[in-house]
Structure 1
Amino acid sequence: MEAIAFVIGVVLMIVGLAVSIALHEIGHLVPAKRFGVRVGQYMIGFGPTLWSRRYGETQYGFKAIPLGGYISMAGMYPPSPAERAATGRAGGGFFATMVQDARAANDETLQGDDDRVFYKLPVYKRVIIMLGGPVMNLLFAIVLFSILLTGIGVQTATTTVSALSECVPQAGVTECTSSDPAPPAAAAGIEPGDTIVSVNGTAVTGFDEVSRIIQASPGEQLTLVIQRDGAERTVTVVPAAIDATGADGSAERIGFLGVRPTVEYERQPIWAGAAAAGENVGAVAGIMWQLPVKVYQTATTLITGEERSADSPLSIVGAGILSGEVAAAEAPVLNRVAGFLGLLASLNIALFVFNLIPLLPLDGGHIVVALWDGLKRFLAKLFHRPPPKPVDATKLVPVTFVVVIGLIVMGAVLILADIFNPLSII
């Protein structure tokens, strides 16, 4: 059953990724069509086409490798210069050939003097189209976090006692024996199901407050007000003094009562999902800007076998493994659902941030090209010069090629690390 649950978790992550990609591309598709751009294809995945169907002028379909997607817009770039178009030859070597091939592929989407092309749109419309994909991932993440935090809630240790410890823990001893002293809570008559209302006159609403007072009072008499069967009663208890390690690593003595809290899901306000998404954007952005360093460190652990850092980047393989572990964990179903939603939401935050990196072929790179085009036009108008030609981003194909190779290498490193030295929640 555990293996089946693991497989189900992996499949759910693949489906979740496909949905995330589909929403991303819809974020590009809808504004592109709204602004009149001719869209030839809307595809989820890469490689051989598994299924497709044409509706109107657009072909919709799924491809074999669900690691991305794309829409094909007419005229992403201006047409090839007349002299190049006439000769059909690039010259100048490998990169020049790549530029010409990119121009030729772009020219195939053009139809005469048709204005339904991307590069002729006003700058703000081009930015909206390219932002649409990442924004859809952000919105999807907010929805997932809202379901997780507001619909399900956050696991919170309450002041209701779920169980009592069997004994007072002794240094170096992991199991209780019949000769070990009973915990103070049991000696005071506290029972499972009791709710601690106050400690020494201080009202408490969470178990962390109870724990903080107890740990700070070893050997001191405390008065607890507890609620049992709707009635309140007062008990006196003296927390046992036990050895513990402080936050700075030093030894200290803390109080021990011997009660275990009841953990319940506490629903958060409706805005908690958006707040969580915002916090995750900041955290992911902090990792993303140093992604090459993080990948290098991950590659090092792959070679040395050292444990990976908890903030190590993941490939989709790693996300699938974590999803499988969540599904196979020995925990209530609701806990596993919550874990999956958190993983998928975090994946969409990563897609949002990653696609805004200002490099082609990412969405952020196309946004920079559009803004550069707008800046050139603004400066020309400001200094009363003729309107400049549209920015020809095909000239950046060599840079795009280097970026793509870099992404492939980093992706390969992360996949290998996720297979041979994976992060784990276990």
Structure 2
Amino acid sequence: MDYALGVILFAAGIAVTIALHEAGHMAAARAFGMRVRRYFIGFGPTLWSTKKGHTEYGLKAVPFGGFCDIAGMTALDPYTEDEKPYLMVDRPAWQRIAVMLAGVAVNIVLGIAIIFGVALTWGLPPTKTVPVPAVVAETMCAPVTVADARANDGAGSCDGQGPAADSGLRAGDTVTSVDGTGVTDFSSMAEVLGKIGSDAASRGVAVGDRVTVPATVERDGRPVTVDLQVEVVQRLDEAGREVSTGAIGVRADNPNTRLIHYSVPGAVGGSLAYSGHVVAQTAQALVDLPSRYWPVVESIFGGQRAEDSPVSVVGASRAGGELVEHDQWMAFLLLLANLNFFLAAFNLVPLPPMDGGHAVVVVYEKIRDWFRRRRGLAPGGPADYTRLLPVTYVVGAVLLVFGLTVMVADVVNPVRLF
């Protein structure tokens, strides 16, 4: 029930995000005296519509987008004599660019507003990752098989107090060396333990058995030598294959998971800083998007789906369902904020039919007219969009294929958070 609620809520959040994006275009267009013909959420057959003034509002059958139809958006658009005084193409360049980027601005403001609310309610994760010290925060048992590790919604299933506790490790101990190798942080300790586990076969040790190696820890400011028991366990590597590794059953105190709490004034700066961090990550993800396509295709046919794989609205809604199911409302809202930043960045791509592509055409017109004036020529008028139609069709086709591929992958092999 909670999962279904989360899916519905996140899908609703996506719909609201799209609606507000298009509302940004509509509000800006009207502010500059342009005529908005249609404001629709979705594509395909019309499910419902109503007309108020000169604008038709409605919902369409495929809720994966939306559009705001402004009279005379390009020189190719037909128009009536009644619409002629309100054409977008006849407005100053800065107004046309403002209308094209208004939807992007709405998404950025909405993303920051969501993060601001999270900052005040829960706090925000740190934006800079630091090494996790090899300090034992807690000892516990270690699940042996992959199935054991996945049991209980990822909490794991195992018995006993665990290898670390059996070896005499205590909370607060700082591990400084394992099997003769110096340890500087939790990652380097895990690397040494992994090698011990992967070499288990050569040591004549089976999965589920333990290997005892010398280790040193710092306890109360003094070095202490322990006989560390390392349990040989199975885990999945990055390619999704089962491999043997070593585990001792400890939890680290990870400073990267500690939330930063804010006052109301502090939340303003904190939200802007965190939003900048998300924008940088989003931009990098957008650059990497083409290289991630083929792994998505492979996942449809049984390949391992990467945790950072691109997802469609279907996958994002499923992720929202999982987060609500596990009572992760803060992560739910941050995911929705991420979606707004991604939508903003995606629409800034300087290719038609994206908003950024239309804005670039207007900039081109201004640069072209500047050169024409220097040559004593009159302005060249609106750009000839017929020359851009092949680019528009190709980009549209690529986006359609990519979107459908990711959507299929989200159904047959979804990204799972838990």
Specify if TM > 0.5: yes
C-alpha distance in 1 between matches for 2:314 and 2:21: 20
- The corresponding residue for 2:101 is 131
User: How far does residue 60 in structure 1 lie from its aligned partner after superposition?
Assistant: 2.1
Match of 1:422, SS state, is coil
C-alpha distance in 2 between matches for 1:241 and 1:125: 73
What are the equivalent positions in structure 2 for 1:355-374 lying under 5 Å apart?
355-374=347-366
After superposition, give the CA deviation of every residue in 1:35-66 in whole Å (9 maximum; x if it has no partner).
10011111111223333333322222222221
User: How far does residue 110 in structure 1 lie from its aligned partner after superposition?
Assistant: 3.6
Q: Does 1:338 align with 2:322?
A: no
C-alpha distance in 2 between matches for 1:237 and 1:261: 23
2:159 is matched with which residue: 168, 175, 181?
175
In structure 2, relative to structure 1, the CA distance for the partners of 1:171 and 1:354 (3 Å cut) is closer
Q: Does 1:386 align with 2:384?
A: no
- The corresponding residue for 2:406 is 414
- The corresponding residue for 2:18 is 21
- The corresponding residue for 1:147 is 117
User: How far does residue 275 in structure 1 lie from its aligned partner after superposition?
Assistant: 2.0
Partner AA of 2:159 in structure 1: E
- The corresponding residue for 2:88 is 118
User: How far does residue 239 in structure 1 lie from its aligned partner after superposition?
Assistant: 8.8
User: How far does residue 361 in structure 1 lie from its aligned partner after superposition?
Assistant: 1.0
C-alpha distance in 2 between matches for 1:177 and 1:116: 75
- The corresponding residue for 1:310 is 307
C-alpha distance in 1 between matches for 2:251 and 2:57: 61
Identity of aligned residues (%): 32
1:320 is matched with which residue: 317, 321, 329?
317
Q: Does 1:9 align with 2:11?
A: no
TM superposition score normalised by structure 1: 0.70
Gaps of 5+ in 1: 79-102, 157-162, 187-195, 200-209, 224-235, 246-250
Native 8 Å contact 1:41 1:71 kept in 2: yes
- The corresponding residue for 1:98 is none
* C-alpha RMSD over aligned residues: 4.0
C-alpha distance in 1 between matches for 2:4 and 2:220: 51
User: How far does residue 289 in structure 1 lie from its aligned partner after superposition?
Assistant: 2.5
User: How far does residue 309 in structure 1 lie from its aligned partner after superposition?
Assistant: 2.5
Match of 1:310, SS state, is coil
In structure 2, relative to structure 1, the CA distance for the partners of 1:14 and 1:171 (3 Å cut) is closer
In structure 2, relative to structure 1, the CA distance for the partners of 1:345 and 1:155 (3 Å cut) is closer
Gaps of 5+ in 2: 127-136, 146-156, 175-184, 191-214, 232-244
C-alpha distance in 1 between matches for 2:143 and 2:65: 55
- The corresponding residue for 2:296 is 298
Partner AA of 2:291 in structure 1: V
C-alpha distance in 1 between matches for 2:282 and 2:110: 16
User: How far does residue 274 in structure 1 lie from its aligned partner after superposition?
Assistant: 2.1
Query: How many residues end up aligned between the 2 structures?
Result: 346
- The corresponding residue for 1:73 is 70
Partner AA of 2:295 in structure 1: Q
2:392 is matched with which residue: 389, 400, 415?
400
TM superposition score normalised by structure 2: 0.71
Match of 2:74, SS state, is coil
User: How far does residue 261 in structure 1 lie from its aligned partner after superposition?
Assistant: 9.7
1:274 is matched with which residue: 253, 261, 272?
272
